[in-house]
Amino acid sequence: MPDLETYRAQALGPEKVAITQIQRPHGEAGDAKNGFNLRDAVELSNDGDKFNQFLAFTRANAQRAGIDLKRTFRDQDPDVISLVCRKTAQDDDYFSKERFPGYWPTREALKQYIKNQRKQKKNIIIHAPRQPIQRPRSRFMNPQAIYISDGEGNHTFEDPSDEEDLVGLGGSSGPAIAGPSSARR
């Protein structure tokens, strides 16, 4: 069954298609408690592919326009935001200014994109692996071994001379273990 706009277009002709304006709901998109679901608000709850395509257009246009991901949405250049909105409306005419005053869905999607990218970058910096630490000398381990922690409680030792040890022992499978008895030989 054709949707209401398709029926109107067929009845009125292509020049007289009336676009139904969709107002922005109160709150912030993505805020489950005090906001709204963006996909439902733009009346695409039954068309996930079209909505995902819109989000992809918004992200791609933000990157092309030069959105600065080090800055919040509020601190972005208004001209760059307007450029992203206009370009997204050109890519998908459903998100036109006539249907959505002030391009509010594109602005909301852009806010979420910037917020998520900034959060992801912050998590990468916080949880980045630490630099290798030189391990103190031990008679049980090669003093060249490097102690490495990934920042999540996992620790490993890397021995840069493992390959040489294996070749010197005449074997190529399994790690070379140097204990106190083999060190005395």
Tell me the per-residue pLDDT of 78-122, one tens digit each, with 9 for 90 and over: 999 999 999 999 999 999 999 999 999 999 999 999 999 998 887
pTM summary value: 0.59
In whole angstroms, give the CA distance from residue 150 to residue 158: 13
In this prediction, residue 109 carries a pLDDT of 96
Q: Which residue has the tokens 């005449």?
A: 170
In this prediction, residue 145 carries a pLDDT of 58
Mean pLDDT of the chain: 77
In this prediction, residue 166 carries a pLDDT of 44
In whole angstroms, give the CA distance from residue 146 to residue 144: 6
% residues pLDDT > 90 (the chain): 48
Tell me the per-residue pLDDT of 4-35, one tens digit each, with 9 for 90 and over: 566 556 655 555 568 899 999 998 898 878 88
SS3 141: strand
